[in-house]
Amino acid sequence: MPSRPAVHVNMAMSLNGYISGPGGRRANISSDEDWKRVMQLRGGALMP
């Protein structure tokens, strides 16, 4: 039986429920530790 691809979901939301800063600007709401984990996952991903 073939193995299935792994799917990782990384999500964050601020306490007020918004996912962006004023004017729609990007807001960093994830911790440095979380960003490092995401970068490790991306580094191990197979890119076409």
Place 38 in a pLDDT band, splitting at 50, 70 and 90: confident
Minimal CA–CA distance to 46: which of 16, 17, 3, 1?
A: 3
CB 26 within 8 A of CB 20: yes
Instruction: Identify whether the C-beta of residue 41 lies closer than 8 Å to the C-beta of residue 7.
Output: no
Whether pLDDT at 3 is above 60: yes
Separation between Cα atoms, residue 39 and residue 6, nearest integer Å: 16
pTM: 0.48
Q: How confident is the model at residue 23 (pLDDT cuts 50, 70, 90)?
A: confident
